[in-house]
Amino acid sequence: MQTVLNPNSTPSVTIDPGSGFCFGVVYAIEMAEEALEKRGYLYCLGDIVHNDAEVYRLRKKGLISITHEEFATLENETVLIRAHGEPPSTYQLAITNNIKLIDATCPVVLKLQNRIKKSFDNKENIFIIGKKGHAEVTGLIGQAENRGVVFSDISELELDKLPEEITVYSQTTKNKARFYEITKSLTEKGFRVNAHDTICTQVSDREKELRGFAVHYDVVIFVSGTKSSNGRVLFEVCKQTNPNTYFVSSPEEINPEWYRHATTLGICGATSTPMWLMEEVRSSILNKKLACV
């Protein structure tokens, strides 16, 4: 474990070694950096990861985030598909506009896309537990030609209008316990539910690991981008385990009052949080602590 001790003996600061980018994000960033070395610039359809600090780092290397509207105006270019994946319409447009795609879709997301496509082709009623408008969810529902239902809570459904049998999938970064709570409730209400737990095991395992981490510290600083769905889920896991957990997206947001009387402090983050950013947070905490003791 990475531990740095304050010269004044408080607090000791430990970075969770299990935090940091998941393999899907690592894969996408490696592909981006490899292409940037060869080309000098590269378009990316949306932010490559939901972390502003990492997006800024790659922007300085030449990675240009573009919207879907901007993508539609490109021709004869090269564009990176990030780990979140894309709907079939994006690939069709790329063919039409002669756009070369560097496809960094996470293998877990790609497998889920294929499963939804198969279910849709089998004329199943597709329901996806996820955040409407989220990049991954847009790609998932696109496999069902946007005819499925996306929801995050059972209260959003018009139960009296639902078919008797439904097939339920999940956005890969959702809470596993919440998934089973929702599918159980639908079953208890009389629906035949074909439930598919498609939550990434790296994400679900992180929940257990973070509980074990957070319980050992007086204060926990959770580092994540504000747009990260995974970050919000994992922050709540830490907060439930240790009420003295605080969310920051950059070192500038740290308040020394949070840990003035702490003797141990843990730093952890989302699967979209770079390790280098957590190390900067650690340095800031130590410096600010020294300034106020």
Check: CB of residue 111 under 8 Å from CB of residue 83.
Answer: no
- For the question of residue 54 being annotated catalytic, the response is no
- Which residues are CB-neighbours of 112 under 8 A, at least 6 positions away? 140, 169, 172, 198
- Among the listed residues 69, 136, 257, 280, the single catalytic one is 136
CB 78: neighbour CB atoms within 10 A?
15
- Which residues are CB-neighbours of 180 under 8 A, at least 6 positions away? 195, 197
Active-site annotation, residues:
136
